[in-house]
């Protein structure tokens, strides 16, 4: 297994970002979810639920990546989104990520949706819906809750079949 990338190395490698970064573009969304699928595979290699996330600045620069690490780190908050947000905040030197987009393979849960709102993420792109614990439009809609002080633009179902298949395969293997 290759050594994990440091946030600084990944930031340098990905800093050839384009001024034309548009999180509403279908091509951009598909590309971001593709990166998340790769990160999710890392979580699965560690015996964790395969979920991957990436935080991208307004200019397209990758600020943070994450995968689930609950099992590896024995951390109930070790969700892909939390890990990506933490890394992005560290790289940026601020918890406020107001111009950023977060992409993730699975609809964020209530904990992650709360962290997304509190970090002021502008846009969330996700793959598979989570009909049991989703908090971005399925069970709850924390990201667009009108009583909160920040609302997030949500783009669901990007590469949904691939994201859902990765999760189904993981859980099917556990039942054998």
How does pLDDT run across 10-52, given as a tens digit for each residue?
333 444 455 579 999 999 999 999 999 999 999 999 999 999 9
Please name every residue paired with 102 in a beta bridge, in sequence order, or none if there are none: 55, 124
- pLDDT for 160: 98
pLDDT for 104 beyond 90 = yes
Helix, strand and coil content of the chain, in percent to the nearest 5, comes to: 40, 15, 40
How does pLDDT run across 112-127, given as a tens digit for each residue?
999 999 999 999 999 9
Q: Which residue has the tokens 């930031």?
A: 11
How does pLDDT run across 140-158, given as a tens digit for each residue?
999 999 999 999 999 999 9
Picking from 85, 83, 82, the residue whose alpha carbon sits closest to that of residue 110 is 82
- The annotation places the binding site at 79, 109, 112
Catalytic residues: 81
Picking from 126, 94, 88, the residue whose alpha carbon sits closest to that of residue 10 is 88
Q: Taking the model in full, what pTM does it have?
A: 0.88
- The annotation places the binding site for Zn(2+) at 79, 109, 112
Residue 140 burial (10 A CB sphere; 0-12, 13-18, 19+): middle
């Amino acid at each position: 297994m290759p050594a994990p990338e440091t946030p600084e190395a990944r930031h340098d490698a990905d800093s050839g970002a384009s001024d034309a970064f548009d999180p509403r573009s279908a091509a951009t969304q598909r590309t971001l979810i593709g990166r998340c699928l790769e990160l999710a595979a890392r979580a699965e290699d560690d015996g964790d639920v395969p979920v991957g996330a990436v935080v991208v600045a307004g200019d397209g620069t990758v600020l943070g990546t994450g995968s689930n690490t609950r099992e590896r780190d024995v951390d109930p908050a070790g969700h892909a989104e939390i890990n990506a947000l933490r890394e992005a905040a560290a790289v940026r030197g601020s918890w406020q990520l107001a111009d950023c987009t977060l992409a993730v393979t699975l609809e964020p849960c209530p904990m992650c949706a709360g962290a997304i709102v509190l970090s002021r993420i502008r846009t969330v792109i996700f793959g598979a819906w989570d009909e049991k614990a989703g908090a971005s439009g399925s069970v709850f809609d924390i990201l667009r809750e009108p009583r909160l002080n920040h609302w997030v633009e949500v783009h669901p179902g990007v590469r949904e079949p691939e994201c859902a298949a990765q999760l189904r395969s993981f859980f099917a293997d556990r039942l054998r």
